[in-house]
């Protein structure tokens, strides 16, 4: 198992590319199940989660081809074709490592008329039930059964009917699943209080390119008119707003100036506002975002919230940045109840953080110090890397397989802007 060795203190400067969005790609890939024609995704990031999802897709009869892939390139162009569904079961062994696997439930149900999917796994960041996925699918005509750790969904004879569902709370995954199931239903589906993250806009835009009829894209109220069939399409995955925000924090904590090539500021509003309030200069144009931190960082109060609020996936990275701010910051985590597992590891590096339930109180310190630390989940891993870049001495980050799930060739990108970082085998 590999680990990262980071020698902190280098001021990051230069330009690095932002990859295609992991959270979007994991939603776009199962769209290939909805048609018998090829679906091509461009700018697909090279990540462990993507590879795992593509492996899962082969279970259902999906073929894959990669065009012009070179080891030195960031991203890939992958064409998927599902001439016919050969299996509608997603077994435990393939699903247990990745929560996003539940997103095959809707498209399998729509195309095959049934789907049997193991209850998912993924990061240990608290209870993330799928009840809203199931209730939303029931609202458009599915019959749901739960047995022996599996969800079995069955469409009525003649297919899904469409219907109306009002989300009692915003759920990104449930919104994505029911959209994919509804696009070929026999009737119209109306969704209210739907999630409206940029990744859901990306999903709707791909489905529209495949022939789906969706009204209200980007809004919390969606109307989906079912069509008889979808066709193939070629589509570019949106840039990763969480990766961009993560590298912005890395640049800021080192007092650096970094160009995030390809980042889309319009998707990053809450993160950019947080950075500016902390004292970071953020400029942007049509081709990227510029980050500069030339003065003292300031303490702030932040709270995560569904989009357009501050993404929960940015909480850990901003916490690391605030460890170097002047004063006391307060962070509130409203999405997941167990997302402060990085706090003890940051404390090993000299951070002063107290947690009370879903609230974290961060007292800025003059200097972080290198230490041996262990990652607990994807974004927590990145928070440790960010802290290490500013820490005095050497930090060793273990269990970096979490990072490989969500950051494409992280150490290569950080080296481009001057970080002293290397990946080595963990004895």
Q: Strand 213-215 vs strand 164-166: parallel, antiparallel, or unpaired?
A: unpaired
Beta strand 150-154 pairing with 143-147: antiparallel
Looking at the DSSP assignment, which residues form a beta bridge with residue 394?
A: 7
**Residue 166 structure tokens:** 């009002």
- The response to whether 130 counts as a known ligand-binding position is yes
The catalytic residue among 31, 123, 249, 323 is 123
Determine if residue 157 is labeled as part of a ligand binding site.
no
Q: Are 11 and 204 in contact (CB under 8 A)?
A: no
Question: Which contiguous run of DSSP H or E holds residue 151?
Answer: strand 150-154
* CA 181 to each of CA 42, 91, 99, 240: distance values in angstroms, whole numbers, following the listed order: 23, 20, 18, 25
C-alpha to C-alpha distance for 51 and 137, rounded to whole angstroms: 27
* Whether the Cβ atoms of residue 199 and residue 27 lie closer than 8 Å to each other: yes
Catalytic residue list contains 123 = yes
For 285, residues 6+ apart whose C-beta sits below 8 A from its C-beta are: none
Distance CA 241, CA 194 (A): 20
Give the tokens for residue 19: 């990859």
131 appears as a binding residue in the annotation: yes
Residue 227, token pair as written in the block: 């069509």
Q: How many angstroms separate the CA atoms of 43 and 69, rounded?
A: 11
Residue 335: enclosing H or E segment and its boundaries? Answer: none
* 274-292 CB burial, b ≥16 within 10 A, e <16: bbeebbbebebeeebbbbb
| 421 labeled binding residue | no
Q: Is 132 annotated as a binding residue?
A: yes
Whether the CB-CB separation of 75 and 40 falls below 8 Å is answered with no
Q: How far is CA 247 from CA 161, 251, 308, 339, in A?
A: 45, 6, 20, 20
> Could you tell me which residues are beta bridge partners of residue 42?
236
338 marked as part of a ligand binding site? no
Strands 352-356 and 359-363: antiparallel
Active site residues: 123
Q: Which residues are annotated as a binding site?
A: 22-23, 99, 128-132, 313, 335
Binding residues for UDP-N-acetyl-alpha-D-glucosamine, as ranges, are 99, 128-132, 313, 335
Can you say which residues are annotated as belonging to the binding site for phosphoenolpyruvate? 22-23
């Amino acid at each position: 198992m590999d680990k990262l060795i980071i020698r902190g203190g280098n001021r990051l400067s230069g330009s690095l590319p932002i990859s295609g969005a992991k959270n979007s790609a994991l939603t776009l890939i199962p769209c290939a199940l909805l048609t018998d024609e090829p679906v091509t995704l461009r700018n697909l990031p090279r990540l462990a989660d993507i590879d795992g999802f593509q492996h899962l897709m082969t279970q259902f009869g999906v073929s894959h081809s990669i065009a012009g892939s070179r080891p030195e390139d960031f991203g890939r162009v992958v064409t998927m074709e599902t001439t016919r569904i050969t299996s509608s079961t997603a077994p435990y062994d393939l699903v247990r490592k990745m929560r996003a696997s539940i997103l095959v439930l809707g498209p399998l149900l729509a195309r095959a008329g049934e789907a049997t999917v193991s209850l998912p796994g993924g990061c240990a960041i608290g209870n993330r039930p799928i009840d809203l996925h199931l209730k939303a699918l029931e609202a458009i005509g599915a019959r749901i059964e739960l047995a022996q750790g599996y969800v079995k969904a069955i469409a009525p004879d003649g297919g899904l009917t469409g219907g109306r569902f009002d989300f009692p709370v915003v759920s990104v995954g449930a919104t994505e699943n029911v959209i994919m199931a509804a696009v070929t239903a026999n009737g119209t589906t109306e969704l209210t209080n739907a999630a409206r993250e940029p990744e859901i806009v990306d999903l709707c835009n791909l489905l529209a390119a495949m022939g789906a009829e969706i009204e209200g894209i980007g809004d919390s109220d969606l109307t989906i008119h079912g069509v008889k069939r979808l066709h193939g399409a070629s589509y570019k995955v949106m840039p990763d707003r969480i990766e961009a925000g993560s590298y912005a924090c890395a640049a800021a904590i080192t007092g650096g100036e970094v160009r995030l090539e390809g980042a889309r500021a319009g998707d990053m509003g809450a993160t950019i506002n947080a950075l500016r309030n902390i004292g970071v200069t953020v400029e942007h144009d049509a081709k990227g975002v510029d980050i500069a931190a030339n003065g003292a960082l300031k303490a702030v109060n932040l709270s995560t919230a569904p989009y357009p609020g501050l993404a929960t996936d940015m909480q850990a990275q901003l916490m690391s940045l605030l460890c170097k701010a002047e004063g006391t910051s307060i962070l509130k985590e409203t999405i997941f109840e167990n997302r402060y597992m990085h706090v003890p590891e940051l404390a090993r590096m000299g951070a002063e953080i107290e947690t009370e339930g879903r609230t974290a109180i961060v007292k800025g310190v003059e200097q972080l110090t290198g230490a041996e630390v262990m990652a607990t989940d994807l974004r927590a891993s990145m928070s440790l890397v960010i802290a290490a870049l500013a820490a005095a001495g050497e930090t060793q980050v273990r269990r970096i397989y979490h990072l490989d799930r969500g950051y494409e060739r992280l150490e290569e990108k950080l080296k481009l802007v001057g970080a002293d970082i290397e990946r080595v085998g963990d004895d």
